[in-house]
Every structure is written in C-alpha cells, then in structure tokens.
Structure 1
C-alpha cells in the first residue's frame, strides 16, 4: 500500500531538485537581460565626444562645484552625460549607516531646463581609509540648436565623503533602454527566485 505514495514522493523530490538549476538559469538570464542590459545601454552606448574636468572649491565650509560649459548640437541627440566622482572617507563605523553625499544636477540652455535630477553616492567600502569611485548617468535629453549648454552640480546637505576629483563624460547618440527587455529580465529574475524557493 505504501508503494504508490513512495513513487509520488520520489517524483516530487526529483521535481524539486530540478527546480534549483532551472532557477539558477533563470536568475542568470534575468541579470543579463535586466540590470546588465540597462547598465550597458546607459553607460556604454553612443560615442564619447568629450570628457571635461569638474572644478570645485571649499567656501565657508561648503563644497561648491563650478558650472560646466558644454558644446552640444542636434546631431548629437540623444545626449547622455555621465558624472564621475572619486571620493574618500574615514573608517566605516556602522555598516548600516554608510557615508553618502547628495547632489543636485541641472542641465540648461540658459533659458530652459533640460535635466533636473537629485542623486546620491553611497560608499560600499569598509576599508580603514577607502577611496571609492561613483558614476551617475543623467537622464538623456535632446538639444534643438548648436550652442553652449550648462551643467550645474550642487551638493545638498553635509558632505560625508571628501571629493578627490570629478569629471563629466559627454556621450552623443546614446540609446534609450528598451523597457520591454528590462521587464522581461525582471520576469526571469522573479521566475528564478520562485523556482529556487520551491526546490
């Protein structure tokens, strides 16, 4: 009388075991289709046409970035700007409260604001005196005429990390991420997690 039960139990066990490698495959596929694809499109598509150093200074205990002048033209659309910052900080006391800097970036043509974004850089390092690098890809934008555009970067609040150097990379003909591909990657990630949890 127990044999049918044993067969069912064995079948379920084999099915659960099979779920693990399938789940791992789905996870890997999801990471490639989702986050890896997004990172590639936002940071590596298009052509680098300029890299400009961002100057900064301390005034009254506050860090101030000098405005950056950008020479842009319609044939560069879509334009992508990547802000790159090297920073350092002291020993990390609480891993649950890592040091971070908050920034506000605005791109304008002198009259109209083309990009207005707030972003943060958070240190993942736990060394005694770590040096860390950050990159922030600003939203893509289009320009209607050839001319000088301006990028302004401001620090919001207190700086918890010391800025060592900064620059902005200008990329022309940058591509927008395909959201269908990204959602497909998310679906693969979810399916992989469910398959592993059910194993």
Structure 2
C-alpha cells in the first residue's frame, strides 16, 4: 500500500507535474497584455522581443464562467490565434478551453498558443478570433509572453505516466 502511494506521487510529479511546470512556468514573463473584448474575440495585441529571449512561449490565460448545462456536452470555447511577425510571416494556431463542470461555475484556464524561436528583434501581432458560439463567457483574459522557455523531456513525462499507472495498478490489486 505504501509503495503504491509512493509510486502514484512520483508518477504525478514526473508526468503531469513536470509537463505543466515546463509548459506554463519556465522562463520569465516578458509581457503580460490584458486583452480587450471585440465582436468576434479580442482586439489584436502587439509586442516586441529580442533574440536574447529565445525561445518565447505565448500563453493565453482566461477567466470564464457559464450557466448550468442541461445536455451532456461540456461547454467549450474555441479560438483561432493568428501570430504574425513584423516582416510578414504568419501562422494560425487553434486554442480551446473545455469546462470540467456542467454546473454554473467560474474557471481559470491557461493554454499555450505557440512556442517560437526569435532570431532577431521582432514585433509580433497576435489576433484571437472566436471560431464558434459558446455558452462560456470570458470575464477577463491576458496574453502572457514568456522568454527563455524550455520544453519538457517527453521521456520523463511518459516515464511518469508509467510509474503512475503502476502505482494505480498496485492500489487496485
């Protein structure tokens, strides 16, 4: 029993804990831009970064709420994020928030929009457009730009998942 609990804790730290730490907490915050609502999403945001901050990670943080859901589908909020570098390079990324509750609830979300290398000082423009109607309402949102970020080693993440599964299996047996 003790060994199973130790395996579960180690698995949680190595798997999901390690992954979330690297995706959302590594590096330093370069810009934190409050997003203002627009008809179909948010007003575009712009920021400049230099090569000393490479790679950068763009993270969308949002506070949402929704009414109680009668059906069996959790509320979703989907955006298309278009990131354009000043010289003209442009790419689109899907961003999705899925509620974990069917009750009326206030929730905080964070979603990685993109991780980008920066070769020289560049101004980026980010436009977020809602792609479909949603029952979720956005109370506030911030576009967070993190510099000098790192990517998680997926071997450690999968090792953590295996250790977690072994611990769960030992708890059941």
Counterpart of 1:57 (choices 38, 43, 55) is 38
Q: Which residue of 1 aligns with 2:98?
A: 122
Residue 139 (structure 2) pairs with residue 153 (structure 1): no
- For 2:106, the equivalent position in structure 1 comes to 131
Q: CA deviation at 1:21?
A: 3.0
The number of residue pairs the alignment matches comes to: 172
Alpha-carbon separation, structure 1, partners of 2:171 and 2:76: 34
Give the drift of 1:106.
2.4
* Structure possessing the higher radius of gyration over alpha carbons: 1
Select 1:192's aligned residue among 162, 167, 172.
167
Higher strand proportion (structure 1 or 2): 2
Counterparts of residues 175-186 of structure 1 (less than 5 Å): 175-186=150-161
Instruction: Tell me if 1:140 matches 2:121.
Output: no
Following the alignment from structure 2 to structure 1, what is the Cα–Cα distance between the partners of residues 146 and 51? 13
Unaligned ranges ≥5, structure 2? none
Q: Normalized per residue, which structure has more helix?
A: 1
Post-superposition Cα deviations, 1:51-76, rounded to whole Å, max 9, x if no partner, equal 11112223xxxx33211111111111
**Corresponding residue SS for 1:144:** coil
For residues 63 and 74 of structure 2, the distance between their equivalents in structure 1, rounded to whole angstroms, comes to 16
For residue 150 of structure 1, give the secondary structure of its aligned residue in structure 2: strand
Q: 2:94, 2:113 within 8 Å by CA — same for their partners in 1? A: no
TM-score (structure 2 length as normaliser): 0.89
Q: Which residue of 2 aligns with 1:16?
A: none
2:80–2:93 CA contact under 8 A, matched in 1: yes
Give the alignment's Cα RMSD to 1 decimal: 1.8
Q: Following the alignment from structure 1 to structure 2, what is the Cα–Cα distance between the partners of residues 189 and 139?
A: 28
Aligned partner of 2:56 in structure 1 is 79
CA distance in 2, matches of 1:120, 1:90: 18
Cα contact 1:41–1:177 (8 A) shared by 2: yes
Q: Is there any run of 5+ residues in structure 1 with no aligned partner, and where?
A: 1-19
